[in-house]
Structure 1
Amino acid sequence: MSTALPVATPAEVRREAGRLFRRHRTTLTVALVVHVLAAGAGLAGPFLLGQMVDVVTGSGSAARVDVLAAVLAGCIVVQALLTRVAIRRSLVLGERVFAELRETFITRVLGLPLSTVERAGTGDLVARTTGDIDALSRTVRFAVPEILVALVTTVLTLTAAVLAGPLVALGAIVGAPLLIAGTRWYLKRARAGYLWERASYATINGTITETVDGARTIEALGLGDMRVTRSDDDLREAFAAEKRTLFLRSVWFPTAELAYVLPVVATLAWGAWLASAGHATAGQVTAVVLYMVQIVDPVDRLVSWLDELQVGLTSFARVVGIANVPPDRTPSGAVPSGEDIAAEDVRYAYVEGQDVLHGVSLDLAHGERLAMVGPSGAGKSTLGRLLAGIHPPRMGRVDVGGVPLVDLDVDRLRREVVLVTQEHHVFVGTLRDNLALAAPSATDEELLRALAAVDASELVEALPDGLDTVVGSGGHQVGPAFAQQIALARIVLADPHTLVLDEATSLLDPRAARHLERSLSAVLSGRTVVAIAHRLHTAHDADRVAVVEGGRIAELGSHDDLVAEGGAYAALWESWHGSSAPADAR
């Protein structure tokens, strides 16, 4: 059962936005000042045109009209230059803020507890790192600067209209009640609508990702129709969410359009009456009407970008919400006194009230090799994750050297215990870069020795550029088996004293897996190894075998002792030994 990652509250979003604005206060102030100057230069046009009308209607001199025209031309040039500078500064500021947001987000994502990521599933996290970041990028780079400019321009234009003709400017208030009412109606509903829309995108991403990753299993088990049905359900949910947000826009946009067109008509009619009654000049009416026409563009941009801002704020809330994921451990600074691993009365549940481990206790002496076997779903992988410190137990404790694993910070924990699963990833970059993740200061000789330890020397020699070969997406194709060997080589370089191998050789064929495990045996000498495996030759070679059934350790002992007891392990061994065991394990 997946649980969505948290979403920041409006108050948390305001605090984070305020922090960003304060951090870039100087740059933002300079950009706003330049925008104000550009807007001010643009406001001279209607005023000067109004003056020209008054000069002409009052039988003024042609020379004064020429002077006013020259000043108007100069204002247009100044406005163009200031606008270019202002836009450039705004875009640079947007890029800087977005870069900071992106880096902060990536840092927070990489610091998420693995248990939280597994519970939430990949869909929500992928949606936040792709769709939400893209939406936030557009908002920070364009929406915020455009809204600030439009807001400043609107305020200055209204001020100029009042100064040009106070009585005539009264016509501008006609559209205000409609615009305010429509905007309040929209904003009251927009956050919930866009959160629903973004959440539905995350669900679709999760479904598609799971379907693609498990395509072979789905085909083998005939689950295609079920996955199609689930995808259709997710699409219907997304359609309903988008239909809701579209409805909000379809109501608000026409209302806003009407609200800022009405003042033009009202000002023209009201101004005509004032002029005919002698309360205003024709020039004043001309100037104010032109200001009302001029204000349509910034108000229109303000309305359009305000809708974009709602999308961005929703994405911002989802991005900032990552910081609200509670830590799954509280480092105490304690230093383990030894390298023995001990689990005591451990219980764990993925879903509250439904334990998958029921009071498991287990002691592992340093250097011991333990094999965990049992049916699928018995709890082997879950117990392995607890022994590796990935999950904190719901009850009980898992210690290393007398210190609970959850009391160790992640860096210290990984020097103590490392989990190797059947899942692995080859990053885009050279083979050297991929290996150096585990040991940044390692020399080429150490990297090659690690590869040799996992039986990958011949594969490396076959690469066109050796360690400098670019692998990963778009690079040299690396097969599943080689990718798993790269992952294992990282573990060799990390050099922990305890390894939990969760079917780490599952992608290799039996003969290659047996060869690899024999190569690893020399490297693992002196280390504690917990091997979760479905190939029983691993259990045959282990010091002890733990049979996990129903979230409990049903049997625990050496291979020979458990076979002699004739219990569950003996039955497993007899079944495997007689049918699929390789000759060298018989």
Structure 2
Amino acid sequence: MTETLLPTATGGEARSAAWTALRRVRGHVALTLLVLTVGTVIGLVGPWLLGRIVDLVIDGRTDELLPVVLGLIGVAIGQAIGQTVGTAMVAHVGQTVIAGVREKAIRQVLRVSEGRIERAGSGDVMSRVSGDVETVNEAVSGVLPTLLDAALTIVLTAVTLAILDWRFALAGLAAVPFQVVATRWYLRNAVPVIRAERVAEGSRAQQLLDSINGANTVRALRLESDHLAKVTAASDKARQLSIRMAAVQRRFFGKLNYGEFVGLALILVVGFYLVRGDLVTIGAASAAALYFHRLFDQFNVVLGTFDTAQSATAAFARLIGVAEMATPDLRDGGETDSRSGRGTDGSVSLRDVRFSYGADQHTVIDGVDLDVQDGEHVAVVGTSGAGKTTLVKLVAGLLPPEQGQIVLGGHDLAAGASGSGHRCVLVSQEVHVFADTVLGNLRLSGEHTSETQARSALDAVGASGWLSTLPDGLDTVLGRGGHSLTPTQSQQLALARLVLADPPIAILDEATADAGSAGAKTLEAAAEKAIAGRTAFIVAHRLTQAARADRVILLEDGRIVESGTHDELVDANGSRYAQLWAAWSTHR
């Protein structure tokens, strides 16, 4: 399965993407680091004040304790404010960056061919734009501020130890070899487990989606036990990796404790000899011990959150892999008209186009050659499984041909950036109404769509009647939790989007199939208005649509076996289309 998953960025690619994203908000980053640094510096005054208290008590100067105690209170308040504000600023910057990456990743997913998404599996896609984003968000909000604060504290504390006495700093360095050994061991053992765990979670999500989405089929074929076993196996693999990760963490923290013991013991020994030689005060030695304890606490914080940081890094690399993957450039090209800036050439040419859903699968489209003139309406008919939907998806660019060439308006689809994008809009049988207002749903075709344009588009497809009955008109909320539309109304909404998108090529893939007989007439009239003046492919569920088309092509086993006008094919002796028409006319 990993061979078909969407790409994952390398470490270098992920770092480059993060750096590029941070550069866009470098002003906020600089201010955030300044606030964190100020908070850390304030916090470092605390151990020095505690050492000062020790010296004052030993010297019997207790009357001077009050200002120092008040100073400690001020340090606690200042450090708390600095850390709170700094943490909030880090979260704000991080969430801003992640939001941009997520939007780019989703935008790229929407541009990837349908076949590529099917091979990867919807579970892989969902785990990236949901689970991986959540992992990175949690790290940005919780782990990243902690890591930044710990890093600043480590650096500034080491400097402070050296200021107290260079031998304190040298004693503290004795803990470093233990930390290096523990960290190298952890990297060798934890990183592969973390990566495998993320892949296993994606596989589990895919299996769950497959089983849930196909629940009716699973029950009909009595495959419940088989699918339950697959879900159990995928879940068990993820669980075992999680348990293994927990065991690695326990051993890691045990190894870190050796370094803490050795370092603190040496700090105390050095402090003893320095105090005995009157080189430092007892308060200074106490402050050094407190600084080291604080220093090592920060090391433990950094290393203890390493697994979370690694998980976030792996998740971020998966996000960047999607965000940066190569997809067709959807910019328009060619001449434009005055209506919307779309290319005026709606001609379509297919040469020896072949396609199958996998190397070992049956060929669905087999050597199709077709030329469609600008503005021509072509009905695509054939029995179920003939390849009708696959053919129009190839024209729409949703599937890449395995062989052959598809040219839209003089631009080769395979060229990507040549301007073939946005030349074709497909309206399928399955229409999704988003949880948004009517206007918001229509603005999917263009964010700057005005209310006047929206009303005009709805009127063009015969939807102005039901629009006037909505409680808030264009501001009525649709979808989940909002106003429900009938199948006919939903399809009219989709056709209105087509009108607003104003492409030179339109594809209707059984766009009236879900409507009843009354609704079908309404939708057929709406479809006629929506495709007027455009090149159109109509996958005809009802042959009345084929009868009104300029040309009819009949597919059989992925090949065009008949082509001509409705009248020509009906009048032809032995025409398969004539047989279909006769059968349909009898039973409609």
Find the partner of 1:88 among 85, 88, 93.
Answer: 85
Structure 1 CA distance, aligned partners of 2:211 and 2:508?
26
Quote the residue 2:408 is aligned against.
400
Find the partner of 1:430 among 433, 437, 455.
Answer: 437
Name the SS for the 1:321 alignment partner: helix
Structure 2 CA distance, aligned partners of 1:261 and 1:29?
37
Quote the residue 1:6 is aligned against.
7
Quote the residue 2:231 is aligned against.
231
Quote the residue 1:373 is aligned against.
381
Structure 2 CA distance, aligned partners of 1:53 and 1:445?
78
Structure 1 CA distance, aligned partners of 2:329 and 2:448?
28
Q: Which amino acid aligns with 1:435?
A: L
Quote the residue 2:20 is aligned against.
19
Aligned residues: 575
Kept after mapping to 2: 8 A contact 1:123/1:206: yes
**Once the 2 structures are TM-superposed, how far is the Cα of residue 471 of structure 1 from its aligned partner?**
1.0
Q: 1:128 to 1:276 in 2, by over 3 A?
A: same
Structure 2: tracts of 5 or more residues without a match? 336-342
Find the partner of 1:498 among 493, 502, 505.
Answer: 505
Kept after mapping to 1: 8 A contact 2:350/2:370: yes
Kept after mapping to 2: 8 A contact 1:91/1:142: no
**Once the 2 structures are TM-superposed, how far is the Cα of residue 152 of structure 1 from its aligned partner?**
1.9
**Once the 2 structures are TM-superposed, how far is the Cα of residue 466 of structure 1 from its aligned partner?**
2.5
Quote the residue 1:102 is aligned against.
99
Name the SS for the 1:437 alignment partner: helix
Q: Which amino acid aligns with 2:503?
A: P
**Once the 2 structures are TM-superposed, how far is the Cα of residue 421 of structure 1 from its aligned partner?**
1.4
- Taking structure 1 as the reference length, the TM-score comes to 0.85
Within 5 Å, give how 1:102-121 maps onto structure 2: 102-112=99-109, 113-115=111-113, 116-121=116-121
Find the partner of 2:480 among 468, 473, 476.
Answer: 473
- Taking structure 2 as the reference length, the TM-score comes to 0.85
Quote the residue 2:369 is aligned against.
361
Structure 2 CA distance, aligned partners of 1:332 and 1:429?
28
Kept after mapping to 1: 8 A contact 2:412/2:418: no
Q: 1:482 to 1:555 in 2, by over 3 A?
A: same
**Structure 1 residue 555 and structure 2 residue 562: aligned?**
yes
Q: 1:56 to 1:497 in 2, by over 3 A?
A: closer
Find the partner of 1:532 among 518, 530, 539.
Answer: 539
Structure 2 CA distance, aligned partners of 1:147 and 1:528?
58
Out of 111-120 and 471-480, give the one that drifted further.
111-120
Kept after mapping to 1: 8 A contact 2:105/2:129: no
Quote the residue 1:43 is aligned against.
44
Q: 1:121 to 1:522 in 2, by over 3 A?
A: same
Q: Which amino acid aligns with 2:84?
A: I
Within 5 Å, give how 1:72-87 maps onto structure 2: 73-87=70-84
Quote the residue 1:128 is aligned against.
128
Q: Which amino acid aligns with 1:199?
A: V
Kept after mapping to 2: 8 A contact 1:48/1:68: no
Structure 1 CA distance, aligned partners of 2:18 and 2:574?
66
Q: Which amino acid aligns with 1:78?
A: V
Quote the residue 2:314 is aligned against.
314
Kept after mapping to 1: 8 A contact 2:554/2:563: yes
Structure 2 CA distance, aligned partners of 1:252 and 1:308?
14
Quote the residue 1:290 is aligned against.
290
Out of 192-201 and 378-387, give the one that drifted further.
192-201
Out of 492-501 and 162-171, give the one that drifted further.
162-171
**Once the 2 structures are TM-superposed, how far is the Cα of residue 88 of structure 1 from its aligned partner?**
0.7
Quote the residue 2:164 is aligned against.
164
Q: Which amino acid aligns with 2:88?
A: L
TM-superposition CA deviations, 1:424-479 (whole Å, max 9, x none):
22222221221233355655565345334444444334322222211122222234
**Once the 2 structures are TM-superposed, how far is the Cα of residue 520 of structure 1 from its aligned partner?**
2.7
Name the SS for the 1:286 alignment partner: helix
Q: Which amino acid aligns with 2:574?
A: G
Out of 124-133 and 404-413, give the one that drifted further.
404-413
Quote the residue 1:419 is aligned against.
426
Quote the residue 1:485 is aligned against.
492
Structure 2 CA distance, aligned partners of 1:410 and 1:461?
42
Structure 2 CA distance, aligned partners of 1:80 and 1:518?
72
Name the SS for the 2:378 alignment partner: strand
Kept after mapping to 2: 8 A contact 1:418/1:498: yes
Out of 339-348 and 404-413, give the one that drifted further.
404-413
Q: Which amino acid aligns with 1:43?
A: L
**Once the 2 structures are TM-superposed, how far is the Cα of residue 513 of structure 1 from its aligned partner?**
2.1
Structure 2 CA distance, aligned partners of 1:359 and 1:188?
52
Name the SS for the 2:445 alignment partner: coil
Out of 239-248 and 559-568, give the one that drifted further.
559-568
Structure 2 CA distance, aligned partners of 1:54 and 1:266?
22
Determine what percentage of the aligned residue pairs are the same residue. Answer: 34
Kept after mapping to 1: 8 A contact 2:56/2:65: no
Find the partner of 1:507 among 487, 503, 514.
Answer: 514
Name the SS for the 1:496 alignment partner: coil
Structure 2 CA distance, aligned partners of 1:573 and 1:449?
36
**Structure 1 residue 384 and structure 2 residue 392: aligned?**
yes
Q: Which amino acid aligns with 1:12?
A: E
Q: 1:296 to 1:466 in 2, by over 3 A?
A: same
Structure 1 CA distance, aligned partners of 2:360 and 2:219?
33
Name the SS for the 1:172 alignment partner: helix
Structure 2 CA distance, aligned partners of 1:232 and 1:570?
53
**Once the 2 structures are TM-superposed, how far is the Cα of residue 346 of structure 1 from its aligned partner?**
1.5
Structure 1 CA distance, aligned partners of 2:323 and 2:530?
39
Structure 2 CA distance, aligned partners of 1:24 and 1:233?
44
Structure 2 CA distance, aligned partners of 1:408 and 1:46?
63
Quote the residue 1:340 is aligned against.
347
**Once the 2 structures are TM-superposed, how far is the Cα of residue 384 of structure 1 from its aligned partner?**
0.3
Out of 265-274 and 42-51, give the one that drifted further.
265-274
Kept after mapping to 1: 8 A contact 2:388/2:555: yes
**Once the 2 structures are TM-superposed, how far is the Cα of residue 108 of structure 1 from its aligned partner?**
4.4
Structure 2 CA distance, aligned partners of 1:262 and 1:376?
76
Name the SS for the 1:500 alignment partner: strand
Q: Which amino acid aligns with 1:539?
A: A
Structure 2 CA distance, aligned partners of 1:243 and 1:114?
36
Structure 1 CA distance, aligned partners of 2:531 and 2:14?
49
Q: 1:217 to 1:559 in 2, by over 3 A?
A: farther
Quote the residue 1:178 is aligned against.
178
Q: Which amino acid aligns with 1:251?
A: R
Kept after mapping to 1: 8 A contact 2:168/2:267: yes
Kept after mapping to 1: 8 A contact 2:328/2:417: no
**Once the 2 structures are TM-superposed, how far is the Cα of residue 56 of structure 1 from its aligned partner?**
5.4
Structure 2 CA distance, aligned partners of 1:479 and 1:191?
51
**Once the 2 structures are TM-superposed, how far is the Cα of residue 487 of structure 1 from its aligned partner?**
1.0
Quote the residue 1:351 is aligned against.
358
Structure 1 CA distance, aligned partners of 2:540 and 2:229?
34
Quote the residue 2:338 is aligned against.
none
Structure 2 CA distance, aligned partners of 1:42 and 1:434?
52
Q: Which amino acid aligns with 1:240?
A: Q
Quote the residue 1:142 is aligned against.
142
Quote the residue 1:243 is aligned against.
243
